Amino acid sequence: MFQSVTTEFLSKYSELLKGAAEGKDTFGNELSESMIKEFDLQAVVIFKVIDGDSLLVIGRSDSANASFLMNSKFRCGVCENLKKSTSFSINSDSNCELAISEYLIYESCVLLITPNGERLLMKVAKKSAFNQSDSDALKKISPFYSYLLHIWLQSRNGLTPLTDLSFSKLVDHSTVSLRNSANSILGITSILGEENLTASQLEYVNNIKRNSQAMLVSINDLKALSLIESGETKVKLENIDLKKLLSETINIFKTRRGNLPTSINLIYDDKLPQQLKLDQLKLKYIVSSLLRISTHLTGGRNVELKAEVGSPGFLELLFELPNKSLAQDTISHFFNPFKVSANPEMKGCLISGLETNLLKKYSQLLGGDLNIDSKASAGTIFKLRIPIEEGAAKLSQSFASIPKPTEGHNNVLVIEDDYATSKLMSNYLKKWGYEPTVVNTEDQVLNLIDRVNYLAVILDIEIPNVNGLELLRKINTHPKTKNTPVIVCSVEPEQQKAYMMGAVEYFVKPINYNYLVEVLTSYKLRKDSNVLCVDDDVPTLNLVKQAIETAGFNAIAEHISANVMDLIKDKEIDLAII
């Protein structure tokens, strides 16, 4: 029989070899990422040595310091490796001028020389100090990586990649310099406006200033769109009083309009819960923009904002303009970039070319949508529809399967790869006195349950690259956790299978976190129980941590999975949520 480890290695090697032979622009990055996964490193940057002491970036891991962009050049005045000519050399120097990691961890440089004599420098970072075994391991693998890089560079005829940035990243970086330029123009025009100018000169200056302001707004919107497209914009849910938020937003808007006519009537459905879990900042932006557009179209008169329950689990905000209808062409192109701002019907509305498109994108980011409908007989309606949590009942029922925390025994193991979900879970667990520990790989789970006694385990059955049901079986057959209740959450209908394999609770996403807290409480964990939370998304991690602390437990939170073992080596974890 073929060994699975051997075949897996050959498969990975084949992929790397294929990428090198094809001369892929991103190969250096892919090679760096493979080293991160294979050798538990924190960051990797690969340089090509040019002119003896100049270092050109030809590959980097995603975790590397953002300043190490592809094709950028650096120098290090203290690097001993650059002075050597051997085929392999490793050097660790605390005075190294090239810190590739955002964190205070250990870094070393590895000199590689390809078959045709090209010199490459590989900078690697790890959380613990480099020892002799690390040096020996790097020496053994260096010919492999040296040869792959040789194939890659040869296939490109010596050309290095121009950039490793996606288009959205390029836009994000470009908007920084564009915004600086626009701000400089605005500053200069403000200074000129204070000079002793003629009326015509002052008009020219004011015209430049207005156009610069419009350009700056479009640049900011462009940056926001690029962050959404690249996945860097995150949804930050928090409990808010929606009625209060809408009332305050309307009052602020009226104040800004000064003496201009402004008639906005808020109609709030009493069936809506007092507290809703929403992204406050994004919602306020959408509401403020739609109020401005609505009052412009109506001349500030007869705008109704209705907040009501839509289909089950959804909030609907309706901006109704009963006395204003729009042309079909305006409606058809309303969310297309720069179409609305150029539309005569919207003239004077102060809409940037990308604003309506950004409103649409933010609505979709929140899991909903924004649409417009207009009829001559009924006027115009902007309809924002976004999902809301169902309340605490279901979560409470599921959490009933988790013992209440007790002194010295409140650790819950949470196995979840989604940052926002794990953070929310952790926050609620802490709220009810549990100590969540969040992990996202099978190896982390098995290592932790060997060392820590958990009150309960919460498992996302659909974690990528992990067989959730098989992991559930391993947890239920492990000597340390065979009697530990396991709560399974999933997007898929795997509930019956999970129960058959020993799960005590099962959640279908999106999870109601109040209910999760109640389930944990039912297991009677101690108030000083430790709950481990691990998630690479820091805002989500903080939210999960808050939930655990609110539940009355000690939260052990960490956003770098490699640091977890050191973090908990002297602690007992009472609960893990998977």
Instruction: Show Cβ contacts of residue 255 under 8 Å, excluding neighbours closer than 6 positions.
Output: none
Q: Which residue has the higher pLDDT, 18 or 3?
A: 18
The CATH number of whichever domain residue 113 belongs to comes to 3.30.450.40
Q: Are residues 138 and 178 in the same domain?
A: no
Q: Are residues 382 and 458 in the same domain?
A: no
Q: Which residue has the higher pLDDT, 351 or 439?
A: 439
Reply yes or no on whether the pLDDT at 202 is more than 60: yes
pLDDT by residue (tens digit) across 67-78?
Answer: 788 888 888 877
The CATH number of whichever domain residue 400 belongs to comes to 3.40.50.2300
Q: Which residue has the higher pLDDT, 343 or 543?
A: 343
pLDDT of residue 1: 42
Q: Which residue has the higher pLDDT, 510 or 229?
A: 229
Q: Which residue has the higher pLDDT, 312 or 126?
A: 126
pLDDT of residue 160: 47
pLDDT bin (cut points 50, 70, 90) of residue 510 is very low
Q: What are the Cα distances from residue 397, in Å, to 156, 410, 501?
A: 60, 19, 20
pLDDT of residue 162: 45
Q: What percent of the chain has pLDDT over 70?
A: 77
pLDDT of residue 2: 47
Lowest mean per-residue pLDDT among 106-115, 272-281, 396-405, 478-487: 396-405
Number of domains in the chain: 4
Q: Are residues 271 and 222 in the same domain?
A: no
pLDDT of residue 417: 74
Among left, alpha and beta (phi > 0; psi -120 to 50; other), residue 8 is alpha
> Other CB atoms closer than 10 Å to residue 271's CB: what's the count?
7
Q: Is residue 161 part of a domain?
A: no
Reply yes or no on whether the pLDDT at 309 is more than 70: yes
Q: Are residues 320 and 460 in the same domain?
A: no
DSSP per position, 537-570: -HHHHHHHHHHHHHTB-EEEEES-GGGHHHHHTT
Reply yes or no on whether the pLDDT at 132 is more than 60: yes
Highest mean pLDDT among 82-86, 129-133, 309-313: 129-133
Q: How far apart are CA 260 and CA 290, in angstroms?
A: 17
Instruction: Show Cβ contacts of residue 382 under 8 Å, excluding neighbours closer than 6 positions.
Output: 290, 293, 294, 318, 319, 370, 371, 372
Q: Is residue 162 part of a domain?
A: no
Domain with 260, as residue range(s), is: 238-387
pLDDT bin (cut points 50, 70, 90) of residue 34 is confident
Q: How far apart are CA 275 and CA 273, in angstroms?
A: 5
Q: Are residues 224 and 245 in the same domain?
A: no
CB 33 within 8 A of CB 39: no
Instruction: Show Cβ contacts of residue 252 under 8 Å, excluding neighbours closer than 6 positions.
Output: 288
Reply yes or no on whether the pLDDT at 53 is more than 50: yes
Of 353, 387, 421, the position where a domain reaches its end is 387
pLDDT bin (cut points 50, 70, 90) of residue 497 is very low
Q: Is residue 181 part of a domain?
A: yes
Q: What are the Cα distances from residue 468, in Å, to 62, 417, 534?
A: 27, 12, 18
pLDDT by residue (tens digit) across 403-413?
Answer: 777 777 788 88
Instruction: Please give the average per-residue pLDDT across 266-293, as a whole number.
Output: 86
Q: Are residues 252 and 201 in the same domain?
A: no
Rg of the chain over Cα atoms, rounded to whole angstroms, equals 29
CB 223 within 8 A of CB 171: yes
pLDDT of residue 394: 44
pLDDT bin (cut points 50, 70, 90) of residue 214 is confident
Of 387, 403, 423, the position where a domain reaches its end is 387
pLDDT of residue 547: 65
Q: How confident is the prediction for the chain on average, in pLDDT?
A: 76
Nearest to 59 by CA among 134, 95, 112, 8: 112
Of 182, 201, 229, the position where a domain reaches its end is 229
pLDDT of residue 509: 41
Reply yes or no on whether the pLDDT at 279 is more than 50: yes
Q: How far apart are CA 151 and CA 141, in angstroms?
A: 16
Reply yes or no on whether the pLDDT at 104 is more than 60: no
pLDDT of residue 401: 61
Reply yes or no on whether the pLDDT at 349 is more than 50: yes
Q: Is residue 171 part of a domain?
A: yes
pLDDT of residue 495: 44
Q: Which residue has the higher pLDDT, 524 or 351?
A: 351
Instruction: Please give the average per-residue pLDDT across 365-392, as a whole number.
Output: 79
Q: Are residues 563 and 426 in the same domain?
A: yes
Nearest to 427 by CA among 448, 412, 440: 412
pLDDT of residue 494: 43
Q: Which residues of 383-421 are buried (b: 16+ CB within 10 A; e: fewer)?
A: bbbbbbbeebebbbebbbbbbbbbeebbbbbbbbbbbbb
Q: Are residues 362 and 465 in the same domain?
A: no
DSSP per position, 62-98: TTB-TT--TT-EEE-TT-SGGG--SSEEEE--TT-S-
Q: Are residues 550 and 417 in the same domain?
A: yes
Q: Are residues 382 and 405 in the same domain?
A: no
Q: Are residues 175 and 304 in the same domain?
A: no
Reply yes or no on whether the pLDDT at 396 is more than 60: no
pLDDT of residue 350: 67
Cα atoms in the Cβ-side hemisphere of radius 13 Å centred on 524:
0
Q: What H or E segment, with its residue span, contains residue 120?
A: strand 119-126
CB 56 within 8 A of CB 160: yes
Q: Is residue 304 part of a domain?
A: yes
Q: Is residue 57 part of a domain?
A: yes
CB 65 within 8 A of CB 102: yes
pLDDT of residue 138: 82
pLDDT of residue 502: 45
Highest mean pLDDT among 131-140, 482-491, 557-566: 131-140
Nearest to 524 by CA among 577, 478, 456: 456
pLDDT of residue 143: 84
pLDDT of residue 252: 83
pLDDT of residue 366: 84
Q: Is residue 132 part of a domain?
A: yes
Instruction: Please give the average per-residue pLDDT across 300-323, as a whole number.
Output: 84
Q: Is residue 160 part of a domain?
A: no
pLDDT of residue 274: 76
Reply yes or no on whether the pLDDT at 19 is more than 70: yes
Q: Are residues 16 and 119 in the same domain?
A: yes
Reply yes or no on whether the pLDDT at 144 is more than 70: yes
Beta bridge pairs of residue 403? 523
Q: What percent of the chain has pLDDT over 90?
A: 1
Instruction: Please give the average per-residue pLDDT across 361-389, as a whole number.
Output: 84
The CATH number of whichever domain residue 250 belongs to comes to 3.30.565.10
Instruction: Please give the average per-residue pLDDT across 373-386, as a whole number.
Output: 86
pLDDT by residue (tens digit) across 450-466?
Answer: 888 888 888 877 676 77
Reply yes or no on whether the pLDDT at 520 is more than 60: no
Reply yes or no on whether the pLDDT at 265 is more than 80: yes
Q: How far apart are CA 430 and CA 544, in angstroms?
A: 8
pLDDT bin (cut points 50, 70, 90) of residue 578 is very low
Does the pTM of the predicted model rise above 0.85? no
Reply yes or no on whether the pLDDT at 523 is more than 60: no
pLDDT of residue 420: 54
